[in-house]
């Protein structure tokens, strides 16, 4: 049975993350911002809050959030950062921590991450170390953040050595995914987030992949299919996180496509004009399936089906689609070796025996990867 079949058909959708002693709920629906004051007051009565957001999201939605919080007597300071991956830096992290201290956020107060994955990762990391840890609420505003980065407690920033290498596990106390906020997201960013939705089908839920093939355009259009896709994704992620919070086992499955993706992001200098995270993941998913096919693990028709779906949606699925190019096969493999999923020189990949049949494959030979990437670049 698919996870999709287990969900109630109607709102309100609440997905619990069942972590011992730190359980929290993910509220999904088109009225999240309107309910944020009540939900936040419910978990932290009398607390003050600092809203960390980016300039784009602030301009579109922050006033409504602040008004909703004020209704419940929650005084909130706004801390605004520039949008984009470059904000996941040491400099911006220090700035946010200082702004939180200037706002007199105490251990009993709350940090609210109001934005995409960049804001969530940065604000969550700041919350994890501020005064040795304050609670935080994720109010994700991009599809990628709603289906992935706001759930599970991974927070962090980038280093010149690679993405997300400086960070902490710090679970939010509450996640509110207001799917109406996605109406203002650019089509490009929406589709990039959709790559992470598809990923859950590819990991272990083939029926959800079927559903995605049939319903992806309704997910983009909004309405119940969008909420459903967010809820299925959150439920899948919550189940894995509850089994393996610290990525000592199963949680690595969530990295399907990501070893390739992180290398591509690195080689394009984290330049969102060229490639955003979800687009890199889309290419990574297609590559993971074609690589699995080449290793004799996965039927060619499954690899083709994955690439076809990404093509239909308008997501990239080949290295040649990276604007400005990727560099040589050697450079791609060297960039992969910088990734933190490398153990003692051997590459750990998430490979697949078919759609919905992914598994962790440690010790993949770099030579095999190089030969595969070389052929991929030939087209
Ligand atoms: P992002 O935060 O840069 O947001 C993408 C763009 O969309 C930004 O320009 C932002 O201003 C804009 N935006 C966000 N919400 C909007 C809205 N409602 N309306 C209009 N514009 C809006 O990027 P992202 O794709 O959300 O997240 C990517 C980041 O998430 C990467 O840094 C990645 O490493 C991280 N990530 C973390 C995890 C985790 O588990 N912590 C998982 C996956 C990805």
pLDDT at 347: 86
pLDDT at 11: 53
User: How far is Cα 324 from Cα 326, in angstroms, rounded to an integer?
Assistant: 7
| Residue 189 lies inside a defined structural domain of this protein | no
User: How far is Cα 100 from Cα 111, in angstroms, rounded to an integer?
Assistant: 8
What domain range is 155 assigned to? 3-184
Phi (first) and psi of residue 95, to 5 degrees: -60, -45
Q: Are residues 125 and 259 in the same domain?
A: no
At 33, which helix (H) or strand (E)? helix 32-43
User: How far is Cα 259 from Cα 202, in angstroms, rounded to an integer?
Assistant: 16
Q: Are residues 225 and 254 in the same domain?
A: yes
Q: Which two tokens stand for residue 2?
A: 């698919």
On the question of pLDDT at 9 being above 90, the answer is no
Q: How remote is the CA of residue 15 from the centroid of ligand 1, in Å? A: 21
The CA distances from residue 226 to 1, 76, 122, 218, 373, in Å, are 21, 30, 26, 7, 35
3-class state of residue 30 by DSSP:
coil
Partners of 110 in beta bridges: 49, 135
Phi (first) and psi of residue 7, to 5 degrees: -80, 145
User: How far is Cα 238 from Cα 17, in angstroms, rounded to an integer?
Assistant: 5
Stated length of the chain: 379
3-class state of residue 255 by DSSP:
helix
Q: Are residues 28 and 137 in the same domain?
A: yes
pLDDT at 39: 97
Instruction: Give me the mean pLDDT over the 253-273 stretch.
Output: 93
End position of a domain, from candidates 130, 150, 184: 184
Counting the structural domains of the chain, the total is: 2
**More confident call, 223 vs 80:** 80
| Residue 218 lies inside a defined structural domain of this protein | yes
| Residue 279 lies inside a defined structural domain of this protein | yes
Q: How remote is the CA of residue 141 from the centroid of ligand 1, in Å? A: 8
Q: Is the peptide bond before 12 cis (omega within 30 degrees of 0)?
A: yes
CB of residue 181 inside a 6 A radius of ligand 1: yes
On the question of pLDDT at 6 being above 50, the answer is no
pLDDT at 5: 52
Q: How remote is the CA of residue 24 from the centroid of ligand 1, in Å? A: 22
Catalytic residue at 196?
yes
| Residue 116 lies inside a defined structural domain of this protein | yes
pLDDT at 342: 58
Instruction: Give me the mean pLDDT over the 160-176 stretch.
Output: 93
Q: Are residues 92 and 240 in the same domain?
A: no
Q: Are residues 206 and 175 in the same domain?
A: no
Q: Are residues 143 and 54 in the same domain?
A: yes
The answer to whether 370 touches 376, Cβ cutoff 8 Å, is: no
Token pair 């699995």 in the structure block, residue: 292
pLDDT at 379: 79
| pLDDT band at residue 366 under the 50/70/90 scheme | confident
What is the overall mean pLDDT for the chain?
Answer: 94
* pTM score, whole prediction: 0.94
End position of a domain, from candidates 120, 152, 184: 184
At 211, which helix (H) or strand (E)? helix 206-221
CB of residue 115 inside a 6 A radius of ligand 1: yes
On the question of pLDDT at 367 being above 70, the answer is yes
| Residue 194 lies inside a defined structural domain of this protein | no
Report the CATH number that the domain containing residue 154 is assigned in CATH.
Answer: 3.40.50.1970
Q: Are residues 223 and 169 in the same domain?
A: no
| Residue 66 lies inside a defined structural domain of this protein | yes
Residue-wise pLDDT for 176-218, tens only, equals 999 999 999 999 999 999 999 999 999 999 999 999 999 999 9
Among 52, 65, 117, 285, which is best to mutate for testing ligand 1, by the most ligand atoms less than 8 A from CB?
117
| Residue 195 lies inside a defined structural domain of this protein | no
Closest atom of ligand 1 to 54 CA is 11
**More confident call, 271 vs 301:** 301
Catalytic site residue from 27, 154, 170, 235: 154
Closest atom of ligand 1 to 84 CA is 3
| Residue 191 lies inside a defined structural domain of this protein | no
Report the CATH number that the domain containing residue 245 is assigned in CATH.
Answer: 1.20.1090.10
Q: Are residues 294 and 233 in the same domain?
A: yes
CB of residue 85 inside a 6 A radius of ligand 1: yes
The gap from C-alpha 329 to its chain's centroid, in whole angstroms, comes to 27
pLDDT at 59: 98
Catalytic site residue from 66, 245, 247, 376: 247
Q: Are residues 35 and 105 in the same domain?
A: yes
Q: Which two tokens stand for residue 318?
A: 């080949």
End position of a domain, from candidates 184, 209, 244: 184
Q: Are residues 167 and 48 in the same domain?
A: yes
Residue-wise pLDDT for 19-44, tens only, equals 999 999 999 999 999 999 999 999 99
Residue-wise pLDDT for 90-123, tens only, equals 999 999 999 999 999 999 999 999 999 999 999 9
**Cβ atoms within 10 A of the Cβ of 90, count?**
12
Q: Are residues 156 and 55 in the same domain?
A: yes
pLDDT at 3: 47
Residue-wise pLDDT for 319-349, tens only, equals 999 999 999 999 999 998 876 555 666 788 9
Q: Are residues 158 and 211 in the same domain?
A: no
């Amino acid at each position: 049975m698919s996870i999709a079949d287990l969900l109630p058909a109607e709102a309100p959708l609440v997905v619990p993350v069942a972590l011992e002693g730190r359980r929290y709920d993910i509220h999904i629906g088109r009225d999240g911002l309107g309910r944020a004051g009540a939900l936040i007051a419910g978990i932290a009565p009398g607390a003050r809050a600092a809203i960390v957001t980016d300039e784009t999201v602030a301009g579109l939605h922050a006033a409504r959030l602040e008004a909703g919080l004020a209704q419940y007597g929650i005084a909130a300071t706004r801390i605004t950062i520039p949008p984009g991956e470059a904000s996941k830096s040491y400099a911006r992290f220090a700035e946010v921590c200082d702004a939180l201290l200037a706002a007199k956020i105490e251990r009993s107060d709350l940090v609210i991450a109001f934005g995409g994955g960049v804001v969530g990762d940065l604000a969550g990391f700041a919350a994890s170390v501020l005064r040795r840890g304050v609670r935080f609420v994720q109010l994700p505003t991009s599809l990628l953040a709603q289906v992935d980065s706001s759930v599970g407690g991974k927070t962090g920033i980038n280093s010149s050595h690679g993405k997300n290498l400086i960070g902490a596990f710090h679970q939010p106390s509450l996640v509110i995914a207001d799917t109406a906020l996605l109406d203002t997201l650019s089509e490009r960013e929406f589709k990039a987030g959709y790559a992470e939705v598809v990923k859950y089908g590819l990991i272990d839920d083939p029926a959800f992949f079927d559903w995605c093939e049939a319903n992806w355009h309704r997910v983009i259009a909004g309405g119940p299919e969008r909420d459903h896709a967010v809820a299925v994704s959150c439920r899948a992620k919550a189940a894995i996180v509850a089994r393996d919070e610290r990525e000592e086992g199963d949680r690595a499955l969530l990295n399907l496509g990501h070893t390739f993706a992180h290398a591509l992001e690195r080689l394009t200098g984290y330049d969102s004009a060229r490639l955003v995270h979800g687009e890199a993941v889309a290419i990574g998913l297609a590559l993971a399936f074609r690589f699995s096919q080449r290793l004799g693990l996965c039927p060619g028709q499954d690899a083709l089906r994955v690439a076809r779906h990404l093509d239909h949606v308008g997501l990239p699925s080949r290295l040649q689609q990276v604007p400005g190019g990727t560099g040589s096969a050697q450079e791609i493999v060297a960039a992969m070796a910088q990734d933190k999923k490398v153990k003692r020189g051997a590459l750990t990949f998430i490979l697949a025996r078919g759609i919905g049949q992914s598994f962790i494959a440690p010790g993949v030979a770099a030579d095999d990867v190089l030969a595969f990437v070389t052929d991929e670049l030939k087209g």
